Chains A and B, each alone.
Chain A
Amino acid sequence: MSMMIDIVSWILLLSGGAFVFIGGIGALRMPNFYTRVHAASLTDSMGTILILAGIMLQAGWSLALIKLLAILVFLLLTCPTASYALANAALLSGLKPDAKTLSPDDKGRPTP
């Protein structure tokens, strides 16, 4: 039984790690600001859920489980909100989500 739990939690941790890794690559390599935010938000949502679920399986029935659950709920509320606020701020400051735009320059303006 504990063997099963270990295997499942390792699968969850590793796939969570993979999501964080993909999110990191995406944040560096994606062509423009909005796609980068989109890639980075992978880390926030799916990576967080999988990694915390993996740790929860390791923690078993204890106080740590409740604390991890609270952290999970907190992150699931705040991280998407932060991504939204970031994208919204960019939109308000005049960065158009246009397919033709490439990466923004230092001043946040889209370069042709």
Chain B
Amino acid sequence: MIVLFAIFLLTLLVISAIAIVRVKNLFVAVMLMGIFSLLMASTFFILDAADVALTEAAIGAGVSTIILLSALALTGEHERFATANRWLPLLVVTITTTTIIYATFDKPRLGDPEAPVHQHVAPWYLQNTPELIDIPNVVTAVLASFRGYDTLGEVFVVLTACIGVLFVLGARPEDAPKPAKQQGLRHHLIPKVVGRLLVPFIVLFGLYVQFHGDFGPGGGFQAGAIIATGIMLYAVLEGETAALKAVPSSLLMAMVAGGAILYGGVGVAAILLGGNFLDYSVLSSNPVDGQHLGILLVELGVGITVCGALLSIFHAFAAREHK
């Protein structure tokens, strides 16, 4: 039965992918990309990857749709006709596709317990997580503790990407937006009332995902994106000025850098307490408690950075509209 669902979702996925490529109206393309991400999230969920599904739903279907829409507000709605040579891209795509299809011939069957990926370090993680870290969600244990270096790298990728985007858009915190009139949905009562009602619950749900990440699907990346969408909704409803008053640009900058520093700081604190970098066991007298504390702090760092980065990019797009 579940295979049937998976095939259905994958078929829809292919259809929407082709539609995204074919469609000329960019607004329609953005909407289709949101649908694509939602289908992708459902597929991940069917494959039992709840954490990835939550990330895809929050970032792919939620935040990136909003950011692409605010980019569309600066450009046109219609795709410019490509005059360049079409044969080279076609050749590249054909070669890549053939290589990938060839590579799948050696791929183990889906869910095969004998697959190499299940024979390498995964059994060790599954076996040792209850004893060493003692949290139910192994994904969080791997992400924040066993593979803490990788996640530290990801946080700095987010930080660097945010800095890069802000440089490209050329928005400085000082160019705060101007006239408070004409902003927000002042004259649309129903969306405004319902939206106002929802914003606190969205932020609350984000905090739940943040701090419940040890026990269920969730964690810093998802929570940061969810809280950012809540504040973006507030910005859409009440206008940029009100949103920037609630969460000022200087605070956003501090969040982007501070989250990464918090993550790195936990690692340095571990060194100062006599352990290795990002070895949380020394943070408390009991190694397992130390792991809990360390995971909580680094996840918090991830969440703060992701939330700050997404909001800064959103505000940078919005600030350009007024120029």
Instruction: Tell me how far the C-beta of A80 lies from the nearest C-beta in chain B, rounded to whole angstroms.
Output: 8
- Are B194's CB and A78's CB within 8 A? yes
> Does residue B190 face the partner (Cβ distance < 8 Å to A)?
yes
Tell me if B197 is interfacial: C-beta within 8 Å of chain A. Answer: yes
- Tell me, rounded to whole Å, the shortest Cβ–Cβ distance linking A24 to chain B: 14
Bound state CA distance, A82 and B195, in angstroms?
11
Secondary structure call for the B interface: helix
User: In the assembled complex, how far is the CB of residue B211 from the closest CB belonging to chain A, in whole angstroms?
Assistant: 17
**Whole-angstrom distance between the Cβ of B93 and the nearest chain A Cβ:** 27
B198 with A88: CB separation less than 8 A: no
Report Cα–Cα, A48/B264, bound state, in Å. Answer: 46
B130 CB–A CB distance under 8 Å: no
Q: How far is the CB of A75 from chain B (nearest CB, A)?
A: 12
Q: Which residues of A contact B190 (CB under 8 A)?
A: 81, 84-85
Cβ contacts under 8 Å, B188 to chain A: 85, 88
Number of interface residues of A (CB under 8 A): 8
Q: Mark B195-209, 1 if CB is under 8 A from A, else 0.
A: 101100100000000
Please count how many residues in chain B sit with their CB below 8 Å of the partner chain's CB atoms: 9
A58-81 vs B, CB cutoff 8 Å, 1 = contact: the mask equals 000000000000000010011001
Per-residue CB contact flags for chain A residues 22-55 toward chain B (1 = under 8 Å, else 0) read 0000000000000000000000000000000000
Q: Evaluate contact between A85 and B197: CB separation under 8 angstroms.
A: no
Q: Taking CB as reference atom, which chain B residue is nearest A106? A: B25
B170 within 8 A of A: no
Q: How far does the alpha carbon of A81 sit from the alpha carbon of B194 in the complex, in Å?
A: 7
A84 to B194, CA, bound (A): 12
Tell me whether B76 is interfacial, beta carbon within 8 Å. no
The distance in angstroms between the C-alpha atoms of A84 and B193, with both chains bound, is: 13
Q: Are A77 and B191 in contact (CB under 8 A)?
A: no
What CA separation (Å) do A106 and B197 show in the bound complex? 35
| B residues less than 8 Å from A84 (CB atoms) | 190-191
In the assembled complex, the Cα of A74 lies from the Cα of B197 at a distance in Å of 10
| In the complex, chain A residues whose CB is within 8 Å of the CB of B25 | 106
Contact with B along A79-99 (1 / 0, CB 8 A): 001001100100000000000
Could you say which of A74, A85, A106 contacts B191, with CB atoms under 8 Å apart? A85
Residue from A74, A77, A81, A85 having most chain B Cβ neighbours under 10 A: A81
Instruction: Write the nearest CB–CB distance from B25 to chain A, whole angstroms.
Output: 8
Closest to A82 in B: B191
Q: State A60–B158 Cα separation when bound (angstroms).
A: 43
* A78 to B191 alpha-carbon distance, docked (Å): 9
B179 to chain A, nearest CB (A): 21
| B-side contacts of A106, CB under 8 Å | 25
How distant is B230 from chain A, measured CB to nearest CB, in Å? 13
Which residues of B sit under 8 angstroms from A74, Cβ to Cβ? Answer: 198, 201
Q: What is the bound-complex CA distance between A81 and B237, given in angstroms?
A: 13
Distance (whole angstroms) from the CB of A57 to the closest CB of chain B: 20
CA distance A98 to B92 in the complex (A): 50
Q: Which residues of A contact B194 (CB under 8 A)?
A: 77-78, 81
| B residues in contact (CB < 8 Å) with A | 25, 188, 190-191, 194-195, 197-198, 201
The 10 closest A-B pairs by CB, nearest first: A81-B194, A84-B190, A85-B191, A77-B194, A81-B191, A81-B190, A88-B188, A77-B197, A77-B198, A78-B194
Beyond A74-B198, A78-B194, A81-B191, 8 additional pairs, beta carbon < 8 A: A77-B197, A78-B198, A81-B194, A81-B195, A84-B190, A84-B191, A85-B190, A85-B191
A residues whose Cβ falls under 8 Å from a Cβ of B: 74, 77-78, 81, 84-85, 88, 106
Q: 18 A-B residue contacts at CB 8 Å?
A: A74-B198, A74-B201, A77-B194, A77-B197, A77-B198, A78-B194, A78-B198, A81-B190, A81-B191, A81-B194, A81-B195, A84-B190, A84-B191, A85-B188, A85-B190, A85-B191, A88-B188, A106-B25
